[in-house]
Structure 1
């Protein structure tokens, strides 16, 4: 879900929800100037899209507490944030202060943790003990949980060479990649360890609207 295509009135509902921890339908009607029917319709759609969730307000006295709505993490992510710029600035500052090894060490740990996640998914102690198809399945599961929105393709050509293409449609690291080569370089190392070969082609993008693409060629005996 994105803010593209949202009606003005639905944006108004989101704006009010953003300003409060939780809000009732009556309060939304009062603050937005929309009818109760319209507010309910917007909430139903936003709830279905995962942007809002039902909750309860603290309530004193008899009776059930009123039903309220609040933004989910997905809903909050629809609003502008300077997190990416702050991260990029922090990494550049650390490198400028001679702390490049800290940046390197941090991202090395990030990808080492993901390597362990893949091994746990495989229920194995090393990557080579599992066939390539299982490694790719585990890799896709780990990248999906990390919000990379991966698409992994695999085919064998007439000479028996296996081609693997890892496309990350939603890389969450573009700001870091703009400030340092470490996250992408260490990701290539991670993918190489899982797949069992160095990439034949790497296309790193530093804009979120473009995918990162890694291509590998493996001979059959490398599987």
Structure 2
């Protein structure tokens, strides 16, 4: 865990990265007692950043599940969201949808070229994914990757710094997928398996040869 994060915000960072969890799981992540974790979560709930819901899973007492609210997600930056949304609306209004698609595609091409400069021809697939995740993290996507038991990889983005723009124009999400294919290899099978805009707490892409 990043030690630069203020003590009272570590629970927010954990929920952003890991998704919803129980009080006991949060206590383990924070390395505190359940009472200590409860104190932090209740404080954040009073401030409107987290919420809890009671969920039954078979027999036994219902579990209390904690997650971020919309206000909690907003604690993580959405790069120049207001200006970006306004620009998209103006381009669509004055130039049309086709012009907007061309601009997004051109931006995706620029991003691909930027990432390709950081990846060498000698890198294997895992090294390519690692470097791509590092580059995306620097841009605010809180990215990492996981190797799966079946030999595939999962590229995970725990935050979307352009979420406001993506909500009104999903061409950004389409371009992102194409950018990954261009950078990692057109012959790879890359599929989005989690999507923030669909209600997931993260975006995740399964990558397999």
Specify the TM-score bucket, using the shorter chain as the normaliser: 0.5 to 0.7
> So what's the TM-score if we normalise by structure 2?
0.54
2:197 to 195, 202, 206: 206
Unaligned runs of 5+ in 1: 7-76, 219-223
> So what's the TM-score if we normalise by structure 1?
0.51
Q: Give the aligned partner of residue 207 of structure 2.
A: 216
Q: Could you tell me how far 1:149 is from its partner in structure 2?
A: 0.9
Q: Could you tell me how far 1:119 is from its partner in structure 2?
A: 1.9
Distance 2:115 2:148 in 1: 22
| Structure number, greater radius of gyration | 1
| RMSD across aligned positions (CA) | 3.5
Q: List aligned pairs for 1:155-170, cutoff 5 A.
A: 155-157=148-150, 162-170=151-159
1:147 to 119, 134, 140: 140
Q: Give the aligned partner of residue 32 of structure 2.
A: none
Distance 2:6 2:117 in 1: 36
Distance 1:206 1:4 in 2: 29
Secondary structure in structure 2 of the residue aligned to 1:151: strand
The reply on whether 1:184 has 2:170 as its aligned counterpart is: no
The number of aligned residues is 140
The reply on whether 1:87 has 2:84 as its aligned counterpart is: yes
Secondary structure in structure 2 of the residue aligned to 1:206: helix
Higher relative contact order by CA 8 Å / sep ≥ 6: 1 or 2?
A: 2
CA 1:122–1:81: 2 relative to 1, 3 Å: closer
CA 1:138–1:81: 2 relative to 1, 3 Å: closer
Distance 1:190 1:94 in 2: 22
Q: List aligned pairs for 1:22-171, cutoff 5 A.
A: 83-124=80-121, 130-157=123-150, 162-171=151-160
Q: Could you tell me how far 1:209 is from its partner in structure 2?
A: 8.9
Q: Give the aligned partner of residue 20 of structure 1.
A: none
Unaligned runs of 5+ in 2: 10-73
Quick check: 1:92–1:180 contact (8 Å CA) kept in 2? Answer: no
